[in-house]
Homo-oligomer: A and B are copies of this chain.
Amino acid sequence: MAKNFTSRAEDYSKWYNELVVKADLAESSGVRGCMVIKPYGFAIWEKMQQELDRMFKETGHSNAYFPLFIPKSYLSKEAEHVEGFAKECAVVTHYRLKNSEDGKSVVVDPDAKLEEELIVRPTSETIIWDTYKGWIQSYRDLPILVNQWANVVRWEMRTRLFLRTAEFLWQEGHTAHATKQEAIDETEQMIEVYARFAEDFMAMPVIKGLKSANERFAGALETYCIEALMQDGKALQAGTSHFLGQNFAKAFDVKFTSKEGKQEHVWATSWGVSTRLMGALVMTHSDDNGLVLPPKLAPYQVVIVPIYKGDEQLLQISEEAVKIKKDLEKIGISVKYDDRDTHKPGWKFSEYEFKGVPLRIAIGPRDLENGTVELARRDTLEKETVSTSDLSNKIANLLEKIQETLLLKAQTYRDDNTHHAKDWNHFKELISKDAGFVYAHWDGTGETEQKIKEETKATIRCIPLNNKAEEGKCIYSDKPSSQKVIFAKAY
C-alpha cells in the first residue's frame, strides 16, 4: 500500500489527499465539493459521535431534529448572520421535475417554483430560534439544552476532503438561558468538553481561547475555540462554542417571563464540531507509512493475521486466534481476525499498517509451538514476541500506552513548534516558514489584524483563555499591548 505514496516532506498536501483516499476514509463524489465517507472512515466518525454524544448527555443535553431547509426570510432576520452566510448558500427554488418537450430528459418544472426560496441549512440558529419561540414562555421553560446531529451545506469554492467540503456532517448544540451568566457558563463548559474530547480520545492537544472580533461566528458576541497544530506547522480550528447574547432572541422575538414577572429576551449559545475533526485526526498522528489511529477511536484496535501453509496449519492457528479474539472482546477490545485466503500475510501487514490499526498480532506455526505471538505497534512500528499467558492484559496495557504515547508525541511536537516573536522581522520569518504557533503582542484592533493577514497570511488563532498578562508593544503597530495572542497560518 505504501508504494506510490507521497511522503510528508515531499508534499504535505498531496500526502494528506492520498492518505484519505488510500486508507479508505473518504473520496470525492460526482457532486462538486461533496464527499463520500467510506465505511472505514465512517466507523471512526461513529466512534467520535458516540463519545461526544455521551459527553453531551452527561452535561444535561438532549438530541432533537430541525428542518434541513431554512426560508430565506428567516436567514435574513439577524443582520450579521445573513451577511456571514449569504455568499455560500445552496438555494432550493423548485419542487418538481417534468419530462422535457422532446421526452428525452427531465427538466425543472417552471410551474413548480416556490413562493419563497429555501436555503439548505448552513447552520441552524434561525430555524431553531423560530422554533424556540413556541417553546419558551416562562423561566420554568429554561434552560433548553438541545443538540442536533445533522448535515449542513456551505458552498465553498475550494474544497478538500474532510477539511472543507460543501456538505459536511456535524453536531450543533443550541441552548437557551434565563441569564447572561448562565449562557456564558454553558459556552465555556462546551469548549471544555471539546478540549477534553480532543485530548482524551483524539490524543490531540488543543489550546482553548477566544476568537478576535474579525474571526467570530456571524451573529455571536464571543466565539470560544480550540486550536490544534498540524504536522506542517499550520493551525486547525477544531471546534467552536459561541456566546450569542440576545441577538437571536431579539431577531425572532423570543421572550420569557422571569421569576420577578418581567418580560426579558432569552440568552443563547451554540457550539459545534464537524467531520473536519477527521482531517485533524489524520494530520495529527499519521506518518509516511499511512494512517495512525489512537486506540480509542480505531474501528478495530487489534488485527490478528495468521501465517500458515496449508489448511491444517490454518485450522490450528485459527483456533488460537479465535480464542485470543474472544478473550480480548470480553474486556472491551475490538478485534478483527483476517483469515482471508485471497491475500498473503505481507499484503495484510501493509494494509493494516496503512489503515492505522493500533496493534497487529501475527501468529505462525512456531508461535503455536512456543506459546507466543508477535505484537507490532503501529505508532512506533516496534515488534516484540510475547508469551500468550496473560495476553489480554498485556494488550490492554499496550493500547493504553499507545494512546498516551500519541498524545505525548503530539504535545512535544506542538511545544517544539511554538515560538515567541521578538519583533516584526522575526515574526515574518517564523510565519513564512510555517513554524507553528507564534505568540506575539497585538494592539487589539481589527485593522492591525487585517494588515498582518494581508502581509503574511497569518491569522490570530486565538487569545488563549487564562492568558498571561504581559505588557509589551504590538508586533506590527508598536502600540501598547497587555498580552500576547497566537498567530499562525491555518486550514
Contacts and interface: CB of A to CB of B under 8 A. Distances in A.
Interface residues of A, number: 63
A106 B82 CA distance: 8
Interface string A22-40: 0000010111001111110
A94 B97 contact: no
B92 A120 contact: yes
B68 A167 contact: yes
A140 interface: yes
A59 interface: no
Copies in the complex: 2
Contacts of A97: 72, 75, 82, 86-87, 89, 91, 119
Contacts of A322: none
B91 A108 contact: yes
24 contacts: A29-B67, A29-B131, A30-B71, A31-B69, A31-B70, A34-B68, A34-B69, A35-B67, A36-B66, A42-B65, A43-B62, A46-B63, A65-B169, A68-B120, A68-B167, A72-B97, A75-B97, A82-B106, A87-B97, A88-B95, A89-B96, A91-B93, A95-B155, A140-B342
A35 B37 CA distance: 27
A146 B76 contact: no
A156 to B, nearest CB: 10
Contacts of A150: 151
A191 to B, nearest CB: 23
Contacts of A75: 97, 106
Contacts of A106: 72, 75-76, 82, 86
Nearest to A130: B30
A38 B67 contact: no
A395 interface: no
Contacts of A396: none
A127 B28 CA distance: 12
Interface string A104-147: 01101000000001111000000100110010000010000010
Interface of A: 27, 29-31, 34-39, 42-43, 45-46, 62-72, 74-76, 82, 86-99, 105-106, 108, 117-120, 127, 130-131, 134, 140, 146, 150-151, 153, 155, 167, 169, 342
A82 to B, nearest CB: 6
A169 B38 CA distance: 20
Contact of A67 (B34, B86, B95): B34
Nearest to A147: B39
Nearest to A34: B67
A68 B118 contact: no
A198 B27 CA distance: 35
Contact of A90 (B43, B74, B95): B95
